[in-house]
Amino acid sequence: MSTAFEQLKQERIIAILRHVPVEQADGLIAALDRAGVVFVEATLNSDGALGMISRWREQYGDRMRIGAGTVLDVNMAKEAVSAGAEYLIAPNLDEAVVNYAREQSIDVYPGAMTPSEIVRAWNAGATAVKIFPMASMGLAYLREIRAPLSHIPMIATGGVRLDNIQQFIQAGATAVGLGGSIVNMDLVKEGRFDEIERNAALLVQAARRADDK
Interval 5-40: pLDDT, tens? 999 999 999 999 999 999 999 999 999 999 999 999
Is 130 considered catalytic here? yes
Domains of the chain: 3-206 (3.20.20.70)
Is the predicted pLDDT of residue 71 greater than 70, yes or no?
A: yes
Contact 39, 70 (CB under 8 A): no
Q: pLDDT value at position 2?
A: 76
Q: pLDDT, tens digit, for every residue of 121-132? A: 999 999 999 999
Nearest to 155 by CA among 12, 11, 15: 12
Q: What is the mean pLDDT of the chain?
A: 97
Catalytic residue among 6, 11, 23, 130: 130
List Cα–Cα distances, 7 to 4, 38, 67, 112, 114, in angstroms.
5, 9, 14, 22, 27
Q: Answer whether 0.95 is exceeded by the pTM.
A: yes
Is the predicted pLDDT of residue 1 greater than 70, yes or no?
A: no
Contact 37, 182 (CB under 8 A): yes
Catalytic residue among 9, 11, 23, 41: 41
Distance CA 71, CA 120 (A): 18
